Amino acid sequence: MGNLLKVLTRDIENYPHFFLDFENAQPTGAERDVWDQVDSVLQESESILSGLQSYKGAGQEIRDAIQNPSDLMHQERAWNSVCPLVIKLKTFYCFSLRLEKALYSLLTCLTCPPYTPTQHLEKEQALAKQFAEILHFTLRFDELKMRIPAIQNDFSYYRRTISRNRINNMNLDIENEVNNEMANRMSLFYAEATPMLKTLSNATTNFVTVNKTLPLENTTDCLSTMASVCKVMLETPEYSSRFSSEDTLLFCMRVMVGVIILYDHVHPNGAFNKLSKIDMKGCIKVLKEQPIDNVEGLLNALKFTTKHLNDESTPKNIRAMLQ
């Protein structure tokens, strides 16, 4: 493929190495149907991030209402402030469900026989790029969410108020938008430190469970190959210099971390042990060579959202690199 450049000589020959054109890959005719389906979801990702970034919360109004329980004006002001925020939180949650379906479609394409993960990435670069874009969005969303404690405070106040008013037999219009079942699911979603990543991890695990005839290696090799691709593009100047924007380097870092986390959740032995197909030492080294402001959140994601980092099988030097 014109957009896929093999790296012929590397120190670690048993890891796959490619240049994936994250900036310019376009769908072929065979990719078009799935690409269009996933693209319709990804087109909304920037507006979701903008909505989350502008989330201010109703902290002051809630505090005033709690401190003045008999003052109807404060109660109404808090309630009227929280309700639009809950609708916004529902929008984010519903988007995560659409993202989950999009990921499932991409995994189906990128892991199906008779091709290997390497062959799929060679043939279907535009789908690989979309897979990367989902991971990039996911880590950006979760980085933002972790900085907004108001989300859980607002939602907790909403649920308490709903329960209290239900006891008082009040008819609340918002329950047409966010009924009890939806509120329960949203509560579980926002209780996670990294809710979008948790959604993708669950979706990937579910994909493996449902597709019993598909070898697990088809999925884990797809993830480990993507990690290797990103690592090599980041550490090889002749390839990283091909990017027209520095933002693509950060994109590569986020994607690399995202696929490592998914691999660690799906593979029985995880990403950190000596038999892992991901060069974890190399991946962490690449991150640590970047400005700390660009990678602090990514290193924290590897520390706190992976499953097997603290297993006895994780080499001490790998664990030490993430301390």
Q: What is the pLDDT of residues 146-186, one digit of tens each?
A: 999 999 999 999 999 888 775 454 546 777 788 888 999 99
Assigned token pair, 64: 């005033």
Please report the beta strands in 35-108, taking only residues with DSSP state E, as ranges in sequence order: none
At 259 the pLDDT is: 95
189-203, pLDDT tens digit by residue?
999 989 999 999 999
Say which range, 33-42, 176-185, 236-245, 290-299, has the weakest mean pLDDT. 236-245
CB atoms within 10 A of CB 114: 5
Q: How many CB atoms lie within 10 A of CB 102?
A: 22
Q: Which residue has the tokens 């797809």?
A: 222
Could you tell me the sign of the dihedral formed by the alpha carbons of 125, 127, 133, 138, in that order? negative
DSSP letter, residue 221: H
pTM of the model: 0.88
- Banded model confidence at residue 284, pLDDT cuts 50, 70, 90: very high
